Amino acid sequence: MRTLVGLAVSAAVAAASVYAFSPRPYPEQAPTQVRTDSMRINDLALAGNRLVAVGDLGSVFYSNDGGVSWQGALLDRPFDVALTDVHFRDAAHGWASGGDGRVMATRDGGLSWTTLRVEKDVSEPLMGVWASPDGTLFAYGSYGRFLASSDGGKAWQQRDIGVEDFHVNAVEGGSDGRAMLVGEQGMALKSADGGQRWQKLAPFYHGSLFGVARLDADTWLAYGLRGNAYLTRDFGASWQKLSVPMPVSLFGHARTADGRVLVVGQGGSVFELDAPGTGLRLVKRTGPLALTGVAVAGGALVVAGETGLKRIAKEDQ
């Protein structure tokens, strides 16, 4: 009997050991939510229905619920320099850029990111990346930096497009190959072939331009310092100065699903291009600090800036 009891106890212990060390499914954990109201966020963009935001200290966040909650993206290596811009070609493929000449890429709509290039000996940031219709990547930034890659970002070459050492602040283009580039001292160029060749435009403003928005193949909006905004309806041949109710610098824009154009800037200001295309109308003040990016998701207005990310419900707009 004592032998049988001993065998039974041994079997029970063995079974318990097998159970204790055997693999088992764990309950799925919800993604860790992060606070995005205590750091500077420099830009945000839509990847399909997902919002993706980038900012200081190598921050990359995404939201699947229209900006209600945010999670940190997976980076292939940590870093602590600021990211200045994020751009998506479609719902899956996007690029982010910033300090150290850094360019990063995502193939899953902003959930994870891979580093394409870093220049530790370069202190000036890249201001953005634009993907042309033929797949060429262009990275641009301070002191006339304009880099091109034809192999998905493995190798980059400096392109001389005649911008000298002026800062290149923004590039935007469409699937037809038409693109525009703007920068400091009123610099503006256009391309009709997906960025392979660039033509300088006749000067229409002598201060810095921070952004350019494509409305259609011929109609473009350029904006910059102290409330200066201009519209062209002939692909840059001529420009009309727009009325802006506040002399605040303008830093970012977004197109909504219904065709509206929103522009954000200093003083927490959100403007909308009016229907005639003659001025920017103030639609919202979010606070005293500057806004640098804007997007519309699920009917809500989501803005980025010096105080992080803020969601404004449709009924509060």
Predicted confidence (pLDDT) per residue in 142-186, tens digit: 999 999 999 999 999 999 999 989 999 999 999 999 999 999 999
Mean pLDDT computed over 13-40: 52
Nearest-angstrom CA–CA distance, 268 and 250: 10
pLDDT exceeds 60 at position 129: yes
pLDDT reported for residue 32: 60
φ, ψ of residue 55 to 5 degrees: the values are -165, -150
pLDDT exceeds 90 at position 108: yes
| Residue 38: pLDDT band with limits 50, 70, 90 | confident
Q: First-to-last CA distance in the chain?
A: 81
CATH code of the domain in which 159 resides: 2.120.10.80
Nearest-angstrom CA–CA distance, 130 and 86: 9
Closest CA to 74 of 30, 23, 109: 109
Q: Does some domain include residue 123?
A: yes
pTM here is: 0.88
Secondary element (H or E) of residue 240: strand 240-241
Q: pLDDT above 70 covers what percent of the chain?
A: 90
Contacts of 39 (CB under 8 A, 6+ apart): 55, 56, 57, 59, 308
Q: Does some domain include residue 12?
A: no
Sign of the CA dihedral 238, 131, 124, 308?
A: positive
For residues 37 and 89, membership in a common domain is answered with yes
Within 13 A of 145's CA, how many CA atoms are on the CB side? 21
Q: Does some domain include residue 163?
A: yes
Q: Which residue has the higher pLDDT, 164 or 218?
A: 218
Could you tell me the residue range of the domain that residue 96 belongs to? 31-255
Nearest-angstrom CA–CA distance, 140 and 170: 8
Q: Which of these three, 255, 282, 307, is where a domain ends?
A: 255
φ, ψ of residue 2 to 5 degrees: the values are -60, -35
pLDDT exceeds 70 at position 226: yes
Q: Between the CA of residue 76 and those of 79, 104, 112, 152, what are the distances in Å?
A: 10, 10, 8, 17
Which of 92-96, 98-102, 312-316 is predicted least confidently?
Answer: 312-316
Q: Which of these three, 236, 255, 274, is where a domain ends?
A: 255
For residues 174 and 307, membership in a common domain is answered with no
- How does DSSP classify residue 244? -
